[in-house]
């Protein structure tokens, strides 16, 4: 089992227990069946990034606390140098680097995402808020609802993140910035 996932699961369980929230109640609140939630909290099942944000909100904490065990410290500005963003591996084939993890009370999360071309495209996801994607390098296919767009370096898209959506590299490696406001 992934030790990073184990640590995240442990932090969720500990915080939930400190707050005296039952696993069933948290599962119901985030819209996950109790069996799936139990597997996520025990570290047996991966936790999608969108659910991590929902869990953090329900537990009254920042997602950075769940991911790292440390709270964000900056409240005026934060600088993240190249390659020093918080690495988040939550979806197969997506490699995220959170670029604002150390800023308190964020209203949005900018992330650098790297995708490798895969034979099978990832499942579509939904989450609250809005999302912005801008391709920095490569070429990707973005699906939003029933619409499919091909974006090249310099192209961008802004959309309602409650619509099923996903990104896939069309050739080789694609890097893009995503800004998620939930």
The matching CATH number, chosen from 3.10.129.10, 1.10.260.40, 1.10.1840.10, 1.10.10.10, for 3-68 is 1.10.260.40
Q: What is the pLDDT along the chain (182 residues), one digit of tens a residue?
A: 567 888 999 999 999 999 999 999 999 999 999 999 999 999 898 887 778 889 999 999 998 999 998 989 998 999 999 999 998 766 667 888 999 999 999 989 899 999 988 888 778 888 888 999 999 999 999 999 999 999 999 999 999 999 999 999 998 899 999 998 87
- Give the dihedral sign, CA 9/15/18/24: negative
Domain coordinates in residue numbering, the chain: 3-68, 86-181
Transcribe 1-62 into DSSP letters.
Answer: --HHHHHHHHHHHHHHHHTT--HHHHHHHHT--HHHHHHHHTTSS---HHHHHHHHHHTTS-
- Report the predicted TM-score, pTM, of the whole model to 2 decimal places: 0.79
For helices 23-30 and 49-58, angle between their N-to-C axes, nearest 10 degrees: 120
Give the single-character DSSP code of 155. Answer: -
- CATH 3.40.50.1360 correct for 86-181: no
């Amino acid at each position: 089992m992934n030790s990073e996932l184990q640590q995240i699961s442990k932090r969720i369980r500990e915080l939930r227990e400190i707050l005296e929230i039952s696993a069933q109640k948290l599962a119901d609140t985030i819209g996950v069946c109790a069996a799936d939630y139990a597997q996520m909290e025990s570290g047996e099942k991966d936790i999608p990034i969108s659910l991590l944000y929902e869990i953090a909100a329900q537990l009254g904490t920042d997602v950075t606390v769940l991911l790292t065990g440390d709270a964000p410290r900056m409240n005026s500005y934060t600088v993240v140098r190249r390659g020093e963003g918080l690495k988040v591996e939550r979806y197969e084939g997506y490699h995220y680097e959170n670029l604002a993890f150390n800023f308190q009370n964020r209203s949005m999360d900018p992330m650098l995402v790297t995708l490798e071309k895969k034979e099978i495209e990832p499942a579509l996801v939904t989450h609250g808020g809005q999302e912005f994607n801008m391709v920095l390098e490569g070429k990707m296919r973005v699906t939003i609802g029933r619409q499919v767009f091909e974006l090249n370096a310099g192209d961008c898209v802004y959309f309602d993140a409650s619509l099923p959506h996903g990104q896939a590299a069309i050739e080789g490696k694609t890097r893009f910035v995503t800004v998620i406001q939930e």
